[in-house]
């Protein structure tokens, strides 16, 4: 059943990574046919593939008004469809757009296809590298750092969402400042989980995989080195994350409810657990499934932050207008436009200059108790450490999640760790 839900959830997550951060009520195009909108009447037409509810059509109108020689054919489709179509077109050498959005979780899929994309360094991208967070920029480069696949759009810095009512029921001050001070380390997280369980009978979180994700994403090394060699059994960080979650399972402090299931969504509104370690775009998911204002709040995670989600804009090599395409995406991802995308559609900026802009700093959300949520997320974004993921990151990560599922069901953790390594090795040997 868990494997079924993980497969079913992939399409939900696909559109959620970019669009669920939307603070408005607009939906995504999941399951719809591709929609097309030509903006402008210029002689140079750029075909732009996007997914999710980005609001880029409004920004495009602004761009073509100032650049009347350009028109942009904006084509919006489901995220999975976009990446499948992109992979097919670059493999065939025809049919790719002038500009494509690539979700950060998918960029590894194209690492071995540099020839199919323009190197944005050739257009002077190095001159604007300082506009973006270092780790975001590095994730858009190849391992050697001499090829740039795309310019960063939004990101998904991770924080700790928490139920103020559960913390108060356990006798704690529920203000963001107090909770942040209460839980500064992972040891604190476990200790507070014990107190909450003892005083309320509730779990710290209902999805242990989110705890694993949080610790994994704080690691300075994960599954592979830059030569794509498996290293997870050669350093302690991933195994420590695995054992930490196993300890929480053993004590009944966290659950193992699959993400995106009705039960998982239900717990969000019913207050059956205290925290959710998740990215900025989870705001929209929480609001949709737990509509009461002032119950959920947001603070920093223990010991830093990670990132889950975000996108890049790339220029396929077959474009006849690569220079014009680059000029447009450089404009679209500049701090000024990223602020507009945040205020209009909730896309969290990858450009740190936005974090000092008054409209950003003063942004408050009544749903989360009127706190300055943008500042909490920007603090997390600046704590993320760059880490190399590798082309087979996601199949390996799936095996780790399967091992954790088995541990939660009662299997021996050491045996599951070894079994996961064996399955991973078979994947690498294919």
Cα separation, 207 vs 10, in Å, equals: 16
Mean pLDDT of the chain: 91
Contacts of 330-335 with CB under 8 Å at 24 or more apart are 330/125, 330/128, 330/151, 331/63, 332/56, 332/59, 332/63, 332/153, 333/131, 333/132, 333/151, 333/152, 333/153, 334/128, 334/131, 335/131
pLDDT digits (tens, 9 = 90+) for 188-204: 999 999 999 999 999 99
Which has more pLDDT, 133 or 52?
133
What is the model's pLDDT at position 183?
Answer: 98
CB-based contact 96:296 (threshold 8 Å): no
Q: What is the pLDDT of residue 53?
A: 83
With 0-12 CB in 10 A as exposed, 13-18 as middle and 19+ as buried, what is 421? middle
What pLDDT, on a 0 to 100 scale, did the predictor assign at position 121? 98
Tokens of 233: 């059994």
24 or 71: which carries more pLDDT confidence? 71
C-alpha distances (whole Å) from 320 to each of 36, 64, 95 are: 20, 18, 12
Round to whole Å and give the CA distance between 42 and 23: 33
* 57-106 pLDDT tens trace: 999 999 999 999 999 999 999 999 999 999 999 999 999 999 999 999 78
User: Do strands 275-279 and 150-163 pair parallel, antiparallel, or not at all (unpaired)?
Assistant: antiparallel
- Show the tokens assigned to 136: 């975001």
Least-confidence region, from 55-64, 115-124, 390-399, 419-428: 390-399
Statement: residue 124 has pLDDT above 60: yes
Q: What would the pLDDT profile of 281-338 be if each residue is shown by its tens digit?
A: 899 899 988 889 999 999 999 999 999 989 999 999 999 999 999 999 999 999 999 9
272-283 confidence digits (pLDDT tens): 999 999 999 899
How would residue 19 be classed by pLDDT, with cut points 50, 70 and 90?
A: very low
Q: What is the mean pLDDT of residues 145-174?
A: 97
| pLDDT band, very low/low/confident/very high, at 4 (cuts 50, 70, 90) | very low
> What is the pTM for the complete model shown?
0.86
- The answer, yes or no, to whether residue 2 has pLDDT greater than 80, is no
Residue 15 predicted with pLDDT over 70: no
Q: Examine the pLDDT at 7 and tell me if it is beyond 80.
A: no
Over residues 341-346, the mean pLDDT reads 90
pLDDT-based confidence at 28, cuts 50/70/90? very low
pLDDT at 97: 98
Q: How confident is the model at residue 153, as a pLDDT?
A: 96
**pLDDT for residue 9:** 41
pLDDT of residue 416: 98
């Amino acid at each position: 059943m868990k494997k079924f839900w993980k497969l079913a959830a992939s399409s939900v997550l696909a559109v959620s990574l970019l669009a669920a951060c939307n603070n408005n009520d607009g939906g995504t195009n999941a399951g719809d046919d591709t929609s097309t909108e030509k903006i402008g009447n210029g002689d140079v037409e750029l075909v732009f593939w996007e997914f999710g509810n980005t609001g880029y059509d409004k920004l495009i109108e602004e761009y073509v008004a100032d650049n009347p020689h350009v028109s942009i054919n904006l084509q919006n489709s489901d995220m999975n469809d976009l990446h499948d179509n992109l992979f097919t077109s670059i493999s065939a050498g025809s049919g790719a757009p002038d500009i494509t959005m690539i979700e950060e979780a998918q960029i590894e899929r194209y690492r071995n296809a540099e020839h199919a994309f323009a190197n944005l360094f050739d257009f002077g991208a190095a001159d604007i590298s300082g506009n973006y967070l270092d780790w975001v920029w590095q994730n858009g480069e190849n391992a050697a750092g001499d090829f740039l696949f795309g310019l960063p759009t939004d990101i998904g810095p991770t924080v700790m969402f928490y139920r103020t009512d559960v913390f108060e029921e356990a006798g704690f001050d529920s203000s963001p400042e107090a909770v942040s001070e209460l839980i500064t380390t992972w040891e604190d997280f476990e200790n507070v989980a014990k107190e909450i369980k003892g005083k309320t009978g509730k779990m710290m979180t209902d999805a242990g995989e989110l705890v694993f994700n949080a610790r994994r994403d704080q690691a300075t090394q994960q599954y592979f080195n830059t030569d794509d060699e498996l290293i997870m059994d050669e350093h302690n960080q991933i195994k420590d994350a695995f054992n930490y979650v196993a300890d929480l399972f053993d004590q009944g402090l966290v659950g193992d409810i699959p993400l995106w299931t009705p039960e998982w969504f239900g717990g969000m509104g019913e207050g059956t657990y205290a925290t959710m370690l998740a990215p900025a775009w989870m705001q929209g998911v929480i609001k949709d499934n737990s509509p009461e204002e002032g119950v959920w709040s947001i603070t920093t995670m223990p010991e830093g932050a990670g990132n889950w989600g975000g996108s890049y804009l790339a220029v396929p090599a077959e474009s006849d207008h690569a220079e014009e395409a680059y000029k447009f995406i450089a404009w679209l991802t500049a701090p000024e436009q990223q602020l507009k995308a945040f205020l209009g559609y909730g896309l969290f900026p990858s450009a740190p200059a936005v974090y000092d802009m008054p409209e950003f700093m003063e942004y408050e959300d009544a749903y989360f108790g009127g706190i300055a949520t943008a500042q909490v997320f920007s603090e997390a974004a600046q704590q993320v450490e760059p880490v190399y993921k590798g082309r087979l990151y996601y199949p390996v990560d799936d095996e780790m999640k399967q091992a954790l599922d088995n541990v939660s069901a009662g299997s021996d953790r050491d045996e599951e760790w070894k079994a996961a390594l064996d399955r991973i090795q078979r994947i690498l040997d294919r």
